[in-house]
Amino acid sequence: MGNDVARVAMLSVHTSPLAQPGTGDAGGMNVYVLELSRQLARRGVEVEVFTRRTSSDQPALVEDAPGVRVRHVAAGPYEGLAKEDLPGQLCAFTAGVLHAEARHAEHHYDVVHSHYWLSGQVGWLTADRWDVPLVHSMHTMAKVKNAALAEGDTPEPAGRVIGEQQVVDAADRIVANTSAEREDLLTLYGADPARVAVVPPGVDLATFRPDPGRAQSRRRLGWPADAEVLLFVGRIQPLKAPDLLVRAAAELLRVQPWRRPRLRVVVLGGPSGSGTAHPESLAELVADLGLADVVTLAPPTPRDVLADHYRAADVVTVPSYNESFGLVALEAQACGTPVAAAAVGGLRTAVDADPLSGTGVLVPDHDPRTWARALAGLLDDPGRRTAMGQRAAARARGFGWGATAEAVLELYRRAAADRRGTGAR
């Protein structure tokens, strides 16, 4: 099929793909939007990403790469507006998108691809206005999150549930990261099976790779060569459960106090979501458990430095209560490091937990004692970790962003062909 999709309007209302992942609202979705856009551009598709302006310093338009432009749309106050308040700014954001499109010739965009339900609401209107297909990526779902809330986390409101349902009903195609996410869309939201396609996210294999290895990465980071390092990467909020790793470390040291001189727990991330209400809570937990000499709390890092962290760690932990996929798990594996992840959502796809041929372990619950046992099992068996790491790097090579872009582009083409064939979805 020829490349009949030339221009895509990519919508990411609540977080800019140019933001540093790991703090605020920036995370795996930011990486997804930016990497997908770059790969589409390399295939001859012009991508314009619309995102809300959050600072007076942000230029109206940024050329990220040839064929990829990021447009910052004024919608509400630049700073201090919580994600929970963004539904009230969707009309203003939509107006900004429509005004930008009006500067082009008619039928400028061929597809609208929205990310997260807020963007889906905007995409629903703009795609209808332009008579083009709406392709939507959920990234997370309120019904799934509310079914497995972390202690102290805030349930998603009914307004989001209703908004998500409207987007699911309106979209020409929905991109699911895994078969499990597709099943959630079918069973919880009644999505049309013919319109939900599974397309796994990718990983930047040029940045996240096993080279130069653990020893050199540790030297660059200044970590002891003989340390036992457990790494967490992500936003500091109950959903991501960095506190569980800290509690598991405390339990591990209670049972095996001889580990203390060598054990290191490194947490890379910043407060986000409900975690912003008590931004010092994790540091307070570390102090209360007497782990100040074991746990290091550090801000997010650039991607090349992040790759060194992955390579330098003995185990990368992903203890989240829910993940649509879990890009951190994939990035870590691409660096040749085994992963200990919660057995939830897309992590069950991202991590191969086969006892003989796996790339990590899936922990069945969120009990610190269970996690302590799982982590001890990995730390006590360096040969097993090495074999897992080698298999992890090989597995990750099948998840390049190029393959993701090819599959998404084919989805665009089919959605556009369906719309042309019927005059509507």
For the chain, 425 residues long, the average pLDDT of each consecutive 10-residue run is 80 88 72 96 97 91 96 91 90 96 91 98 97 96 91 89 98 96 97 97 95 95 97 92 97 98 95 60 96 96 95 98 91 97 94 94 97 98 97 94 96 93 55
Would you state the structure tokens that stand for residue 85, as one six-digit string?
Answer: 């308040």
Question: Are 230 and 122 members of one domain?
Answer: no
Q: Is 310 annotated as belonging to a binding site? A: yes
What local confidence, expressed as pLDDT, does residue 312 receive? 98
20 known member of a binding site: yes
CA atoms within 13 A on the CB side of 114: 29
CATH assignment at residue 56 = 3.40.50.2000
Q: Are residues 103 and 196 in the same domain?
A: yes
Q: Was 388 annotated as part of a binding site?
A: no
Question: Is 141 flagged in the annotation as binding?
Answer: no
CB 292 within 8 A of CB 316: no
pLDDT score of 359: 97
Are residues 334 and 367 part of one domain?
yes
Bond prior to 212 in cis (omega within 30° of 0):
yes
Q: Would residue 96 count as lying in a domain?
A: yes
Q: Are residues 47 and 171 in the same domain?
A: yes
Domain hosting residue 97, numbered range? 7-202+400-424
Query: Residue 420 has what pLDDT?
Result: 80
Is 78 flagged in the annotation as binding?
Answer: no
Q: Is residue 337 annotated as involved in ligand binding?
A: yes
H helix runs in 256-301, sequence order = 281-288
143 is in an annotated binding site: no
Tell me, what amino acid is at 156? Answer: E
Q: How many Cα atoms sit within 13 Å of 374 on the Cβ side?
A: 29
Whether 145 has a binding-site annotation, put simply, is no
Residue 2 domain flag: no
Residue 207 lies in a domain: no
Contact assessment for residue 204 and residue 401, using Cβ atoms and an 8 Å cutoff: yes
Please indicate, yes or no, if residue 275 is contained in any of the structural domains. Answer: yes
Q: Flag whether 30 is marked binding.
A: yes
pLDDT tens per residue, range 219-252: 999 999 999 999 999 989 898 999 999 999 999 9
What pLDDT shows up at residue 423?
Answer: 46
Establish whether 313 is an annotated binding residue. Answer: yes
Report the pLDDT value the prediction gives residue 28, as an integer from 0 to 100: 81
Pick the closest to residue 284 from 229, 238, 333, 243 (CA basis): 243
State the pLDDT at residue 161: 97
Question: Is there a binding annotation on residue 391?
Answer: no
Q: Domains in the chain: how many in total?
A: 2
Q: Is 235 annotated as a binding residue?
A: yes
pLDDT at 25: 66
pTM listed for this prediction: 0.91
Same structural domain for residues 77 and 91? yes
Res 421: pLDDT? 77
- What is the residue type of 421? G
Helix (H) or strand (E) holding 293: none
Task: Tell me: is residue 280 an annotated ligand-binding position.
Answer: no
331 assigned binding-site residue = yes
CA pair distance 5, 419, nearest whole angstrom:
13
59, 197: one domain: yes
Contact 21, 383 (CB under 8 A): no
